[in-house]
């Protein structure tokens, strides 16, 4: 007998109970008991699996749901592995050292945060990848911020804001294209729609970081410490930017040409390894081993050596394992229709436009929390909300915009999502530490709802058909 014949959909009450207990397990375990997220995910999986079993799913069905969710996210898993190799190879080639060396010379504490925000936004906008931006410029700014005595959670928040702005607005970003496609609107109509809320929010974020930066403009920099760090880098590496910056140039150019990210990152790793061996004089075997597990630098300055020892596939293992467990949990919640039932029940109660947009953003957040990544959340919410937006005669580009604001931006604010875990591993700053400073990621939602309440930035279907 086919097990699908015994499967049934949960009621709204059961879906709400199931999801609430998942959030409760994580909240109590993380904030009260300080239990590691991996252990909490295990108990969330047991609870979700028990609910799916009660709904008529067999063990094999449940395992298939978990496996299917993980297989859909394989491209992200490949990137996890490659980013670790990119960071390690960039350390050995002197790419990161060069950027820190000249960055310490050009940047001042007062301008560091706003300039860093703009540079991260431009790189992410040009390459379409927030992960690549965080893994390159983000690591550099963490190093510079540490030397300039700017608190690292603030620096990490700045990096995440800039990187996710570009990822949201870039026409070559995967989430931007996915949202437009899922809402069945044109890509550039989608980007045009996002400008109404994203540009003002980014401007507000820039002003905030200018204000924060001004608090450090009069701070007495340890000039001797900066000089010693620059001297240590100069004596350890060959710092010709015409050579050492080639790997990051390869990464940027191939990304802008829309070459597959796996190929782009692999090419930059190969180039960086060649430069490390041929130009920096690094040991061949040690350089290759660093791609698996990097070792601290040899400048003699402890904090700098720790920074230069980042990267390698092994450094991403904590993140990767957490992502796999979160994806498996999302597979059960989605495949057993628990999440769909919960969101559908919420949507049915919404009537006004501002409330509809607020609900779209909130369900994007719920989708990220449940499934551990933004892709399925984007697709699911576009499907669930499409009829409701048409009922209110709203442009589908408004739907795609609201879905992105709830999914693409909030995934960086949740510790167990693939993005949140990746940013933590790469920047060395926990999500909950940088979250208060990721202004762009949560202010965008408030700006969007406020504009909807004021009747601003709303696109009508009539305008879409004529313009």
Per-residue pLDDT tens for 112-154?
A: 999 999 999 998 988 888 998 999 899 999 999 988 889 999 9
Q: Write the DSSP assignment of 151-188 as a string of letters.
A: -HHHHHHHHHHHHHHHHHH-TT-HHHHHHHHHHT--HH
- Residue 414 three-state SS: coil
Question: Which residue carries 């960055």 as its tokens?
Answer: 103
What distance in Å separates the CA atoms of residue 227 and residue 239, rounded to the nearest whole number? 15
Retrieve residue 290's tokens.
Answer: 């660093």
Position 323 confidence tier, pLDDT thresholds 50, 70, 90: confident
CB-CB contact of 337 with 9 (8 Å): yes
118 Cβ partners below 8 Å, 6+ apart? 162, 206
Could you tell me the CA-to-CA distances from 160 to 48, 83, 121, 140 in Å, in that order? Answer: 31, 16, 9, 13
What pLDDT is recorded for position 351?
82
What pLDDT is recorded for position 391?
87
What pLDDT is recorded for position 5?
65
Position 218 confidence tier, pLDDT thresholds 50, 70, 90: low
Least confident of 226-235, 238-247, 437-446: 226-235
Question: Residue 313 pLDDT > 90, yes or no?
Answer: yes
Where do the domains of the chain lie?
10-70+317-466, 74-315
What pLDDT is recorded for position 288?
97
In DSSP terms, which residues pair with 460 in a beta bridge?
A: 394
Position 301 confidence tier, pLDDT thresholds 50, 70, 90: confident
**For the residues 382-396, what does the mean pLDDT come to?**
90
Position 467 confidence tier, pLDDT thresholds 50, 70, 90: very low
What pLDDT is recorded for position 79?
85
Position 376 confidence tier, pLDDT thresholds 50, 70, 90: confident
What distance in Å separates the CA atoms of residue 406 and residue 375, rounded to the nearest whole number? 12
What pLDDT is recorded for position 1?
45
What pLDDT is recorded for position 466?
36
- Residue 460 three-state SS: strand
What distance in Å separates the CA atoms of residue 148 and residue 1, rounded to the nearest whole number? 67
Other beta carbons less than 10 A from residue 196's beta carbon: 17
Q: How far is CA 72 from the centre of its chain?
A: 17
Range of 50-64, 182-196, 317-331, 341-355 with top mean pLDDT: 50-64
Dihedral sign of CA atoms 25, 31, 35, 39 in order: positive
What distance in Å separates the CA atoms of residue 456 and residue 450, rounded to the nearest whole number? 9
Higher-confidence residue of 466 and 177: namely 177
410 Cβ partners below 8 Å, 6+ apart? 361, 364, 365, 368, 441, 442, 445
Retrieve residue 36's tokens.
Answer: 């590691």
What pLDDT is recorded for position 59?
95
Q: How far is CA 441 from the centre of its chain?
A: 10
Question: Residue 47 pLDDT > 90, yes or no?
Answer: yes
What pLDDT is recorded for position 411?
95
Position 106 confidence tier, pLDDT thresholds 50, 70, 90: confident
Retrieve residue 305's tokens.
Answer: 């050596």
What distance in Å separates the CA atoms of residue 85 and residue 96, rounded to the nearest whole number? 13
Position 75 confidence tier, pLDDT thresholds 50, 70, 90: confident
**For the residues 15-23, what does the mean pLDDT come to?**
95
What pLDDT is recorded for position 3?
60
Other beta carbons less than 10 A from residue 453's beta carbon: 14
Dihedral sign of CA atoms 231, 237, 239, 241 in order: negative
Retrieve residue 22's tokens.
Answer: 């998942």
**For the residues 59-80, what does the mean pLDDT come to?**
91
What pLDDT is recorded for position 385?
92
What pLDDT is recorded for position 109?
84
Alpha helices (runs of H) in 237-373, residue ranges in sequence order: 241-244, 246-256, 261-278, 284-290, 302-308, 317-335, 338-347, 353-371
408 Cβ partners below 8 Å, 6+ apart? 164, 167, 168, 175, 176, 179, 374, 378
Other beta carbons less than 10 A from residue 72's beta carbon: 15
Least confident of 12-26, 153-167, 210-224: 210-224
* Residue 460 φ then ψ, to 5°: -90, 155
**Degrees (nearest 5) of the Cα angle 68, 49, 317?**
55
Question: pLDDT of 360-371, one tens digit each?
Answer: 999 999 999 998
On the CB side of 459, CA atoms within 13 Å amount to 25
Question: Residue 341 pLDDT > 90, yes or no?
Answer: yes
- The model's pTM is 0.86
Higher-confidence residue of 106 and 225: namely 106
Question: Residue 2 pLDDT > 60, yes or no?
Answer: no
DSSP code for 62:
H
Question: pLDDT of 148-196, one tens digit each?
Answer: 889 999 999 999 999 999 889 998 888 999 999 999 899 989 999 999 9
CB-CB contact of 327 with 372 (8 Å): yes
What pLDDT is recorded for position 221?
60
Other beta carbons less than 10 A from residue 58's beta carbon: 14
Question: pLDDT of 247-269, one tens digit each?
Answer: 999 998 998 888 888 999 999 99
Q: What does the mean pLDDT of the chain come to? A: 90
């Amino acid at each position: 007998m086919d097990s699908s014949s015994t499967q049934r959909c949960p009621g709204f009450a059961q879906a709400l109970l199931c999801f609430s207990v998942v959030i409760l397990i994580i909240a109590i375990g993380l904030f009260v008991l300080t239990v590691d997220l991996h252990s909490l995910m295990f108990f969330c999986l047991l609870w979700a699996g028990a609910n799916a079993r009660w709904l008529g799913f067999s063990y094999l069905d449940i395992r298939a749901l978990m496996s299917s969710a993980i297989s859909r996210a394989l491209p992200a898993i490949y990137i996890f592995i490659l980013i670790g190799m990119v960071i390690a190879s960039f350390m050995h080639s002197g790419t990161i050292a060069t950027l820190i060396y000249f960055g310490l010379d050009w940047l001042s504490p007062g301008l560091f945060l706003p300039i860093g925000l703009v540079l991260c936004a431009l790189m992410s906008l040009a390459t379409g990848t927030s992960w690549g931006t965080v893994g390159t410029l983000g690591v550099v700014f963490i190093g510079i911020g540490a030397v300039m005595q700017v608190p690292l959670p603030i620096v990490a928040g700045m990096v995440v804001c800039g990187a996710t702005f570009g990822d949201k607005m870039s026409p070559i970003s995967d989430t931007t294209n996915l949202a437009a496609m899922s809402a069945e609107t044109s890509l550039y109509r989608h980007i045009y729609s996002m400008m109404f809320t994203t540009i003002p929010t980014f401007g507000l974020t820039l002003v905030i970081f200018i204000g924060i930066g001004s608090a450090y403009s009069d701070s007495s920099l340890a000039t001797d410490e900066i000089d010693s760090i620059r001297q240590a880098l100069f004596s350890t590496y060959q710092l010709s930017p015409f050579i050492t910056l080639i790997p990051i140039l390869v990464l940027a150019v191939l990304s802008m040409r829309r070459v597959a990210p796996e190929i782009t990152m692999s090419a930059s790793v190969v180039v960086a390894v060649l430069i490390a061996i041929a130009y920096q004089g690094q040991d061949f075997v040690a350089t290759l081993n660093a791609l698996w597990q990097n070792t601290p630098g040899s400048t003699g300055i402890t904090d700098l050596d720790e920074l230069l020892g980042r990267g390698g596939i092994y450094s991403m293992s904590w993140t990767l394992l957490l992502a796999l467990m979160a994806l498996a949990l999302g597979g059960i919640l989605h495949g057993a229709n628990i999440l769909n039932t919960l969101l559908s029940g919420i949507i049915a109660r919404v009537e006004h436009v501002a409330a509809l947009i607020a609900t779209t953003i909130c369900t994007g957040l719920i989708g990220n929390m449940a499934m551990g990544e933004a892709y399925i959340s984007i697709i699911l919410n576009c499907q669930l909300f499409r009829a409701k937006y048409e009922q209110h005669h709203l442009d589908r580009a408004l739907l795609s915009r609201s879905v992105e604001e709830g999914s693409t931006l909030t995934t960086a604010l949740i510790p167990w999502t693939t993005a949140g875990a990746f940013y933590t591993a790469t920047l060395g700053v926990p999500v909950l530490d940088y979250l208060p400073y990721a202004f762009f990621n949560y202010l965008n939602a408030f700006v969007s709802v406020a504009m909807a309440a004021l009747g601003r930035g709303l696109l009508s279907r009539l305008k879409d058909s004529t313009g």
